[in-house]
């Protein structure tokens, strides 16, 4: 059985993340979506809220599970017996950071491959940061995030219309 972990901040989960999860389920038997706790980032959605969203949206997929981790990614991947780390690659701007991270992770854990997947073109401009910015001004992001995230963004930014 092949297993991959897909780490991220998911603040909040977008349709771009879901696109990557669906694609990775075609390649791997089992996907662990891992919420990475980064104390240096000030998230809009707290850890419990982000976990709750992930569990609600992908809870029906028996081959995917949701966890949270606060350690070194490769240590966590090894502990979970993962064969690969999944990351999404949107544009050239993602490349430099991802390249450094993949090679650093290979240095630390040579047996774990990082696999990059490209989302559908319609999500290749999409980021959680941009979704939050647009939603904070009352812009319509309903085509870009799961319905539950759309509702929670309206609550957070008081932009019910
Ligand atoms: P991180 O803080 O780890 O970058 P994110 O939640 O922003 O957390 O992203 C997690 C992963 O999902 C990253 O590999 C990122 O490139 C990918 N990702 C984010 N948005 C998209 C998208 N629209 N299409 C494809 N991949 C995406």
pLDDT, tens digit (0-9, with 9 covering 90-100), for 57-100: 999 999 999 999 999 999 999 999 999 999 999 988 889 999 99
Active site residue 106: no
Summarize the confidence of residues 38-65 as an average pLDDT. Answer: 95
pLDDT of the residue at 92: 85
Is the beta carbon of 127 within 6 A of some atom in ligand 1? yes
- Looking at the DSSP bridge assignments, the partners of residue 68 are 35
This prediction has a pTM of 0.96
Q: Pairing state of beta strands 113-117 and 84-88?
A: parallel
Contact between 14 and 144 (Cβ < 8 Å): yes
pLDDT at 161 over 60: no
Better pLDDT: 161 or 122: 122
* DSSP-assigned beta bridge partners for residue 35: 8, 68
pLDDT of residue 116: 97
158 given a catalytic annotation: no
Residue 12 beta carbon below 6 angstroms from any ligand 1 atom: no
- Catalytic residue, from 24, 50, 65, 90: name it: 90
* Closest by CA position to 18, among listed 69, 72, 59, 47: 59
Please report the atom of ligand 1 found closest to the CA of residue 41.
2
Is ligand 1 within 6 A of the CB of residue 9?
A: yes
């Amino acid at each position: 059985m092949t297993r991959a972990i897909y780490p991220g901040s998911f603040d909040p989960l977008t349709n771009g993340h879901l696109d990557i999860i669906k694609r990775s389920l075609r390649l791997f038997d089992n996907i662990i979506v891992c919420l990475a706790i980064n104390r240096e980032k000030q998230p809009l959605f707290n850890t419990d809220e982000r976990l709750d969203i992930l569990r609600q949206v992908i809870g029906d997929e028996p081959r995917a599970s949701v966890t949270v981790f606060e350690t070194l990614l490769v240590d966590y991947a090894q502990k979970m017996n993962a064969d690969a780390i999944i990351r999404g690659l949107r544009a050239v701007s993602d490349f430099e950071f991802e390249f450094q991270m993949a090679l650093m992770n290979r240095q630390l854990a040579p047996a774990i491959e990082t696999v990059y997947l490209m989302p559908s073109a319609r999500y290749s401009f999409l980021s959680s940061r941009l979704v939050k910015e647009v939603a904070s001004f009352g812009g319509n992001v309903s085509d870009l995030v799961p319905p539950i995230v759309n509702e929670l963004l309206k609550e957070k930014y008081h932009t019910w219309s």
